[in-house]
Structure 1
Amino acid sequence: MNTHKKETSLWLKISSIDEILASVFLAIIVILSAYGVVTRYVLNSPSAWVEEVCIVFFIWFTFLASSALAKNNELIRIDYLLTKIPARLANIIDGIFQPLVMIFCLVFMAYLGFKLLPMAQFRFTPSLQLSYAYIYAAIPISASFMLFYEVRKIVYFFKINRGSQS
């Protein structure tokens, strides 16, 4: 029982990181966008760095929000089909879908994302001279979150199905 509480507590801590960061990044985007509008149109003195920072935070927000969607099973998929077929078949299709998402996260996002970082290390943004590696790091980091969530869903899927067969 104590192990389950520790696991649940650890799960809650890990699973909230991407949502919290995505929320903070979205708030920063809204605040900086408002600041950019005021400096450009009210003060007639646009800040060159605001747009660049907003783009960086928007990229991070997009990838972290995607991992939060993966956690909640809200990634784009065709649920209509699953509602029209028998529940057992829908469960099997869902069981096939989870490993496919995991493979996509592992191969395309995590692996290729990490391979992209060294190539981006010496490219810099125009205004802030920020390395593109910091921007592209959003890809493998969010993929790691997604992979964590998908592995957890697969383990849960097999626990549930093993319990229903006995």
Structure 2
Amino acid sequence: MKSVIKVFNKCLEAVCIFIFAFIVVVGSYQIITRYVFNSPSTKSEELLTYSFTWLAMLSAALVFGKRDHMAMTFIYDKMSQSTKKILSIINEVLVLVFAVIVLIYGGIYITRLTATQLTASLGVPMSYIYVVVPLSGFITSLYAVLNIVQILKEGE
């Protein structure tokens, strides 16, 4: 199972790296057209905004899955192993509930709601932008379940 998770992590990392590189290229293009040619591109600004949204949502899911997110652990570190295990499971369950209710359910709702709405300069349906919310919710939920399984196996 760990090898499948590693492959999934690498694929998600590759997607995030690609989006980040895309943001750098489009951002550089935006700067050049604005300051060198004195004719800013409105399409590139919209592309940057939506690409950043995708990057933030997918990266957040990835960081959660790898357990690399920020945490203040000074109290947690002083607890017993059994208490740490219980708190870790509670934490993962709370994240799972949040991901299912807010990200997946809410994301599907907002994606459906904006299906007929088009972006200002690109003319792309807004649902294409918002579909990343339930997608990241699904990824986060998957990671939460895998993390719970891993926490339970650690004690055996």
Q: Calculate the TM-score normalised by the size of structure 2.
A: 0.92
Task: Indicate whether 1:118 and 2:112 are aligned.
Answer: yes
In the TM superposition, residue 13 of structure 1 has moved relative to its aligned partner by 2.6
Task: Indicate whether 1:149 and 2:143 are aligned.
Answer: yes
| Matching residue of 2:93 | 99
Instruction: Output one character per residue of 1:16-59: Cα deviation in whole Å (capped at 9) or x when no partner.
Output: 23221111111111111111000110111211111000001000
In the TM superposition, residue 129 of structure 1 has moved relative to its aligned partner by 0.8
| Structure index of larger Rg | 1
| Matching residue of 2:132 | 138
Task: Indicate whether 1:43 and 2:37 are aligned.
Answer: yes
Task: Indicate whether 1:75 and 2:75 are aligned.
Answer: no
User: What is the percent sequence identity of the aligned residues?
Assistant: 26
Instruction: Output one character per residue of 1:45-101: Cα deviation in whole Å (capped at 9) or x when no partner.
Output: 211111000001000000000011111113344322211323332222112111111
Structural mapping, 1:7-22, within 5 Å = 7-22=1-16
Structure 1 CA distance for aligned equivalents of residues 70 and 117 of structure 2: 32
Of 60, 63, 66, 2:60 maps to 66
Tell me if structure 2 keeps the 8 A contact 1:18–1:67. Answer: no
C-alpha RMSD of matched pairs (Å): 1.5
Structure 2 CA distance for aligned equivalents of residues 116 and 89 of structure 1: 38
Structure 1 CA distance for aligned equivalents of residues 60 and 37 of structure 2: 36
For these two proteins, the number of residue pairs brought into alignment is 156
Tell me if structure 2 keeps the 8 A contact 1:63–1:138. Answer: yes
Relative to structure 2, which stretch is displaced further, 47-56 or 80-89? 80-89
**2:148 counterpart SS class:** helix
Structure 1 CA distance for aligned equivalents of residues 79 and 2 of structure 2: 33
Letter in 1 for 2:36: V
Letter in 1 for 2:68: E
Structure 2 CA distance for aligned equivalents of residues 88 and 123 of structure 1: 50
| Matching residue of 1:27 | 21
Instruction: Output one character per residue of 1:85-144: Cα deviation in whole Å (capped at 9) or x when no partner.
Output: 233322221121111111111111111111211111011111001111011011011111
Any unmatched runs of 5+ in structure 1? 1-6
Q: Calculate the TM-score normalised by the size of structure 1.
A: 0.87
Structure 2 CA distance for aligned equivalents of residues 136 and 80 of structure 1: 37
Tell me if structure 2 keeps the 8 A contact 1:56–1:135. Answer: yes
